[in-house]
Amino acid sequence: MKRILFVDDESKILDGIRRTLRTERNRWDMQFAVGGEAALQACEAGSFDVVISDMRMPGMDGATLLGHIRDRFPGTARIVLSGYAEASLATRAVPVAHRFLTKPCNAAELQATIERVCTLQDILSTPEIRRVVGAVGELPSLSITFTSLTEAVRNPNTSMTQVSDIIEQDVAMAAKVLQLVNSAFYGLAQNVTSLQSAVAYLGMETIKNLALASETFRVFAPNSRIPQSVCETIQQHAHRTAAIAGTLPVDRKTRDVTVVAALLHDIGRLILASKIPDMFCSVLSRTGERKCEPFEAEEELLGTSHAEIGAYLLGLWGIPNLAVEAIAHHHHPTRIPHSGFDSSIAVYVADLLAHELDAHPQDSTGSELGESDRACLETLGILHRFAEFRELAIQVRN
């Protein structure tokens, strides 16, 4: 049974949540704490799977509380449920919260959010994941350059010049950012030749996302026994998937994180190729023999797939939880509830369409959907829109 802790400085708010979720009391052990100090004492008395906290509270506010929980109980999912949206509070909450919900929040949205974070926890803590990660050994950290870039982007006083100066310190990253900016991904009328111009045109957050992608591909270079073309193919597919994801009808507020998830959705394949090359080669052989998808061969041989492996690493790196979730489920989006065309659905659809274009680069009609994908799209309620999404993908290609 999942243990959920709700935190607010107003007991009436907590009473309302208790009534709203009373139908879940048989499957969730729900506790309620008035204020940050009481919540921290409850966590010390017994671990929780999820903590959902208000932001503005006297004494210990929500950001401070969730920061303590992140440091002392890192396995706990942390959700902000608040009626306040001040920039200062939001900035402080970003490093410590996995999800953000606004008051008033209806029961269905609150329930679905809790279920989604719990499902992700369960998937990323299986014995199969731990066994694979154990075989991988120590996972690399992001470079000092990217860490500095992330800090700079979070600071509202950082200038475009400062961001470009940080990227210039890393020649490989700078080259990759300029390459991506000038690719068909953005379709600019003329080439961008300076990093400062690229930052000015694209904005800081997008530049950070591009830098993250380039840094990831550099960190996980395939083993020498694996042809370089394999990594190049994965990169090309990632960029095409991201370009398609950017055209799909996701909410404007989550478009950037959706594109990040699409860029990084196959990072798990790079981990296998660079860290466990023998297993990666076995997967390639099984894929060819069975005429199946790589993730299906991985599930047969490893008990898990590159989707979950990549999500695990990105979670350690502190990538936004929405992106981690979309990557973990991009082959099985029906594992979680959806309340609309969200990031997880978008990455699944974009990946599916990118594979179509990879396989049939000159075909405008697309390949016939497989039975499992057709069933998945139908379950998600978007099968009737797939032809529309395919047209968007073809426009990106052209």
Q: Is residue 50 a contact partner of residue 28, using CB atoms and an 8 Å limit?
A: no
Which residues fall within 8 angstroms of residue 333, CB to CB, at 6 or more apart?
Answer: 344, 345, 348, 376, 380
* Helix axes 267-275 and 204-219, enclosed angle (nearest 10): 30
Q: CA–CA separation, 214 vs 230, rounded Å?
A: 16
Mean pLDDT of the chain: 83
| Predicted local confidence at residue 285, as pLDDT | 93
Q: How far is CA 340 from CA 102, 105, 251, 256, in A?
A: 17, 16, 9, 17
Task: State pLDDT tens for residues 385-396.
Answer: 999 999 989 887
| Predicted local confidence at residue 142, as pLDDT | 65
Q: Where are the alpha helices (DSSP H) in 246-290?
A: 255-264, 267-275, 277-290
Give me the average pLDDT of each 10-residue run along the chain (398 residues): 94 93 91 96 93 92 90 85 63 73 83 87 81 69 74 81 80 65 58 71 72 71 79 84 92 84 89 88 93 93 92 77 92 92 96 87 65 94 94 80
Look at the pTM and tell me if it is higher than 0.75.
no
DSSP 204-216: HHHHHHHHHHHHH
**Edge-to-edge, what's the strand order for the sheet holding 28-34?**
28-34, 2-8, 50-53, 77-82, 99-102
